Amino acid sequence: MSYKILEKKQIAPQVHLMKVLAPDVAKASKAGQFIILRIDETSERIPLTIADFDAEQGYVTIIFQEMGKTTKQLAKMKDEDELQDFAGPLGTPADVRDLGTVILVGGGVGIAPVYPQVKAYREAGNKVISVIGARNKDLLILEDEMRDASDELHVATDDGSKGHHGFVTDVVKQILDSSEDVARIVVIGPPILMKVAAGMTQPYGVETIVSLNPIMIDGTGMCGGCRVSVGGETKFACVDGPEFDAHKVDFNLLMSRLALYRSEESECLQNHECTCKGDN
């Protein structure tokens, strides 16, 4: 069985949106879950968070950034092309319920997995305050969609080209320092952003949840590659997560494990680029 690409488009520099026809996956998907795809039978398996899904039309939306060999190959695919594998939904769905006021934070490509949660939390009856950020305005994604799905939307850019000049954590702190009674904060983005956010929110005593993206292979808890330390206990992000209590996550260990195969990944990408040049 293969999975047809219904739509593929670039939405920011080196960031692409892809709608994939996968009726069974779309029907079972919930906010917070992910899929693992494989381009062809010789490709590696890569996990990508579900950015949206439509059970009636049978498609799942993924958003990815060109980083390594596989994502660069994926970026060259087009409408009507097919993927070999598209397994999911995987992981534990987000714990979405009516809590009151919830802040959802997306940094960079992390805005993509935040989007379905924004919709889900609002549908559950919460007041949803969304905070999104990127290095500059050109790298912001899903801004209109996030605005439509949220009660409030705040934008931050590192260079001040749009919205608040600074980081998303600055905006979250301003909200926490106001009279707003916040029940939960969800943060998804680069590990350093989630680490900083966890440290910033802890003194306020507000429940803070992060979605972790460790190295992952099978996505079923068998390989152990995605193990993380949470509250001093070993957890597997693929089955126990990907969401965890931010105040209990060992972010230093997470980031060190993410760097384990950096040299091998770089070598693989260089070999791929050399092969592509040779083919031309």
Annotated binding residue 268: no
Annotated binding residue 65: yes
Annotated binding residue 223: yes
* Omega within 30 of 0 (cis) for the link into 242: yes
3-class DSSP state for residue 105?
strand
Annotated binding residue 53: no
Among residues 125, 117, 91, 135, which one has the least CA distance to residue 186? 117
3-class DSSP state for residue 120?
helix
Annotated binding residue 226: yes
Element holding 100 (H helix, E strand): none
- Alpha carbons 106 and 113: distance in angstroms, whole number: 8
CA of residue 66 relative to chain centroid, distance: 14
E-strand stretches of the chain: 3-12, 15-21, 34-38, 46-54, 59-65, 82-83, 85-90, 101-107, 127-134, 152-157, 164-165, 184-188, 207-211, 227-230, 233-236, 243-245
Rg of the Cα atoms in the chain: 18
Annotated binding residue 236: no
Secondary structure percentages of the chain, helix, strand, coil, to 5: 35, 30, 35
Is there a contact between 108 and 189 (Cβ–Cβ < 8 Å)?
Answer: yes
- Alpha carbons 260 and 252: distance in angstroms, whole number: 13
Residue set of the binding site for [2Fe-2S] cluster: 223, 226, 238
Residue set of the binding site for FAD: 63-65
Residue set of the binding site: 63-65, 223, 226, 238
